[in-house]
Amino acid sequence: MPILNRAAELQNEVTEWRRHIHERPELLFAVENTAAFVAEKLKEFGVDEIVTGIGRTGVVGLIKGRGEGSRAIGLRADMDALPLTEITGKPWASTTPGKMHACGHDGHTAMLLGAAKYLAETRNFNGNVAVIFQPAEEGGGGGNLMVKDGMMERFGIEEVYGMHNMPGLPVGQFAIRKGPIMAATDEFTVTVKGRGGHAAQPNRTIDPIVIATQIITNLQMIASRNVDPLRSVVVSVTKFNAGFAHNVIPNEATFAGTVRTLDEAVRDQAESRFRQIVSGIAATHDAEAEIAFHRNYPVTSNHEAETVHATQIATDIAGAANVNADIDPMMGGEDFSYMLNARPGAFIFIGNGDTAGLHNPAYDFNDEAISHGISYWVRLAEQRLGE
């Protein structure tokens, strides 16, 4: 079964919505206008219940089926943009310098709106469909806040599904895997406190730059000598600040970065080794190290049975040759992980074709993907809630 006819008919209208949202990017939780646009559309479609302000600026619409039953399936999109200046030159490019939809969340929101319109028209299912529009995916953990606000209980959501576009994957294709699909994204900042002094008398100092650089080099032991080589870990130091003159050894050096892992045991191991290495090397050289280690988004891990359902629906729509059911996991993060920790579900990638990469100022969501995305959402809801 290819793309649904009705989804193809919605293509132009949904493209307009997508470009409308694209022109007006908003960041993190400050997605008020996008949320208002979503709520207005849901009202227009005759969605039964529309709740705003979940997870600060999130929106949930509840669409009731024809049949009996109160089981609900959650379909989730994200609404926030990124702090980048767009260079696509497209007629619908961002009108705000320093903000752009460089991760395609405009497309995710528009496709889920298209599915909501379809499902509110047809209602060929028992129970309820909850369409979830979250703020602050790009840092901020809006998905986590929505879960904490009791969204799952309030709407009786028993399963939850997410979708993200993937540049490089041809339009019309899907990719997914059981188990971990995106990484935990922990963040650290370390301040090495030594004793500054004259650069010509290093013996009278405790040089924080030499000590910090040794720590950074040794942190690579976590990947090369601590974690099982068959498991994944990334330790990247992405910032280093110290000093102000050629002839002065400073008091302090600061560095920061991220640790990425695909399972909780490796995550714990990486953090514990991180702390030992930093404190141990600092102590060896008589310095002190202040460690701020922040556990950010958890691993996005697809549940087995729900991944089978999602794969089946993608295969129905795109054909088996166009579904990769065992894509390699990615070391990027996703705060849909919080929803998957709260309820069983699955996160799938949809092809965005040969476009610039995510978070690139030349990126644009590919509108050709819209009817594929809508078809996936609609069939998934209808199949899971039994036509």
Nearer to Zn ion, 79 or 113 (CB): 79
Partnered with residue 292 across adjacent β-strands are: 189
Which among 206, 161, 177, 183 has a CA at the least distance from the CA of 380?
161
Complex with Zn ion: residue 63 or 163, whichever CB lies closer = 163
What does 250-315 look like in DSSP terms, one character per residue? Answer: -SEEEEEEEEEESSHHHHHHHHHHHHHHHHHHHHHTT-EEEEEEE--S--EEE-HHHHHHHHHHHH
C-alpha closest to that of 130 among 88, 104, 161: 161
Closest by Cα among 76, 75, 377, 314 to 172: 314
Closest distance to Zn ion from the beta carbon of 293 (Å): 23
Q: Which is nearer to Zn ion, 191 or 301 (CB)?
A: 301
Nearest approach in angstroms of CB 105 to Zn ion is: 6
The separation between CA 275 and the C-alpha centre of its own chain, rounded to angstroms, equals: 27
What are the tokens at 119? 């499902």
- Buried-exposed string 153-190: b where 16+ CB fall within 10 A, e elsewhere: eebbbbbbbbbbbbbebebbbbbbbbebbbbbbbbbeb
Residue number, 84 or 282, with CB nearest to Zn ion: 84
d(CA 6, CA 68): 25
Q: How far is the CB of 101 from Zn ion (least distance, A)?
A: 10
Q: Which CB sits closer to Zn ion, 109 or 269?
A: 109
Distance in Å, CB of 11 to Zn ion, minimum: 22
Query: Which amino acid, 372?
Result: H
The single-letter DSSP state of residue 205 is: S
* Residues 32/26, Cβ–Cβ less than 8 Å: yes
Report d(CA 153, CA 263) in Å as an integer: 27
What is the DSSP-derived secondary structure letter of residue 230? T
Q: Which CB, 252 or 364, lies closer to Zn ion? A: 364
Site for Zn ion in 69-128 (CB under 5 A): 103
The CB-of-332 to Zn ion minimum distance in angstroms stands at 7
The residue among 74 and 107 lying less far from Zn ion, judged by its C-beta, is: 107
Could you give the string, one character per residue 203-232, with x where binding to Zn ion holds by CB under 5 A and - elsewhere? ------------------------------
Instruction: Give the CA count within 13 Å in the CB-facing half-sphere of 376.
Output: 34
Q: How many residues bind Zn ion, per CB under 5 A?
A: 1
Name which of 156 and 329 has its Cβ closer to Zn ion.
329
Q: Which is nearer to Zn ion, 77 or 266 (CB)?
A: 77
State in angstroms the smallest separation of the CB of 236 from Zn ion: 17
CB of 148 to Zn ion, least distance (A): 21
Residue with the shortest CB distance to Zn ion? 103
Q: Which two tokens mark 115?
A: 């599915």
State how far the Cα of 353 lies from the Cα of 203, in Å rounded to an integer.
Answer: 59
Which residue, 86 or 207, has its beta carbon nearer to Zn ion? 86
Under the binding rule (CB under 5 A), the answer on residue 370 touching Zn ion is: no
Q: Alpha-carbon distance 111 to 10, whole Å?
A: 10
DSSP-derived letter for residue 367 is: G
Residue type, 29: F
Question: Least Å distance between CB 259 and Zn ion?
Answer: 19
Minimal distance, residue 46 CB to Zn ion, in Å: 29
We find the least distance from the C-beta atom of residue 103 to Zn ion, in angstroms, to be: 3
**Binding residues for Zn ion (CB under 5 A):** 103
